[in-house]
Amino acid sequence: MAEVASNGPTPASTTSSEPVPLDTIPVSPDGAVTDATNGATNGHSDGKIVTVFDDPANFNVKHALQNTWTLWFTKPPSGKQDWSELLKEVITFDSVEEFWGIYNNITPASELAQKSDYHLFKSGVRPEWEDPQNKHGGRWSCTFKSGKANDSTWLDVMLAAIGETLEDEGDNEVMGVVINIRRAFWRVGLWTRTAGQAPKKGSAAAEEGQDKELGKKRLEKIGKNFKNYLQLPETEQVEFSGHADSAHSGSSRAKAKFAV
Ligand code: MGP
């Protein structure tokens, strides 16, 4: 194994079982940060692949993600508190290294208190039905009875989101992913920009001749990808519901519009 020089900033430990404060995570080390892609989209530039070992002392090579993501946390209510009082923005990141720095130092889903949620959303989108970029959208979701999902279920879904493998290029549907920790179950969700409705008159999609059926097919394909990452057997389904219905009923358990 390559030897890593001992001088330079020490990254937060990844082996400690104690969660460390987020502001100690070396997500933005001092000094210049090397973009591992060197501005190229495939990680190669001039035929050279840059890895963390190019500068092991400073630990400052970053592999850029296609999008910038923000982690949010909903804390369990203590008494009567509004949804918006409980929802907290945690941290924003845009590289693979930052993702792992954060993931390895926050409380795993399995250790969260009941009624907590993690939300991982594209930067600039609040994980709420009311956000302008969500309000016409919906959610694929899957409920796992206690013990039927674990930390890797949530990790796989986050990696699929930040790795942009849930949708086809140009779909521009995925807004974020969510895990709800509840007494008797975990619910994993994938939020989309649309909900299978006909495109608005005059919109780019309408002008391209896209119709309701096409929108629904696009969402179903995303639902199937989601189901694969959740490793669900063919006999189980993930369900899609619209945020407008959830907002109307005041509950996330709005009636499913379709399932795959
Ligand atoms: P939940 O956490 O999505 O589902 O919503 P849970 O715990 O299964 O509960 P249920 O009530 O849907 O059966 C819990 C509650 O948080 C909802 O009832 C809403 O009051 C509130 N809430 C959840 N979301 C995602 C939103 C949101 O986007 N906007 C607002 N205003 N309230 C929300």
Sign for the CA dihedral angle at 84, 90, 93, 99 comes to negative
Closest C-alpha residue for ligand 1 atom 1: 252
- Is 13 inside any structural domain? no
Q: Which of 17-26, 196-205, 206-215 has the lowest mean pLDDT?
A: 17-26
- Determine the Cα–Cα distance for residues 99 and 97; give it in Å rounded to an integer: 5
Can you read off the two tokens belonging to residue 89? 């923005």
Least confident of 140-149, 191-200, 215-224: 191-200
Mean pLDDT of 223-238: 95
pTM metric for this prediction:
0.82
Query: How many domains would you assign to the chain?
Result: 1
Q: Tell how far the Cα of 243 is from the centroid of ligand 1, in angstroms.
A: 11
Classify residue 117: in a domain, yes or no: yes
Residue 3 has pLDDT above 50, yes or no: no
Q: Ligand 1 test: best mutation among 75, 80, 83, 84, most atoms within 8 Å of CB?
A: 83
- Residue-wise burial string across 176-203, b where 16 or more C-beta atoms lie within 10 A, e elsewhere: bbbbbbeeeebbbbbbbbbbbeebeeee
Nearest atom of ligand 1 to the alpha carbon of 252: 12
Q: Is there a domain that residue 199 lies in?
A: yes
Structure tokens at 20: 């460390």
Radius of gyration of the chain (CA): 20
Ligand 1 centre distance from Cα of residue 252 (Å)? 5
Q: Does 129 sit in the ligand 1 pocket, CB within 6 Å?
A: yes
**Residue 152: inside a domain, yes or no?**
yes
Report the CATH number that the domain containing residue 189 is assigned in CATH: 3.30.760.10
- 87-145 residue pLDDT tens: 999 999 999 989 999 999 999 999 999 999 999 999 999 999 999 999 999 999 999 99
Report CA 210 to chain centroid distance, whole Å.
Answer: 27
Domain extent for 201: 69-95+109-259
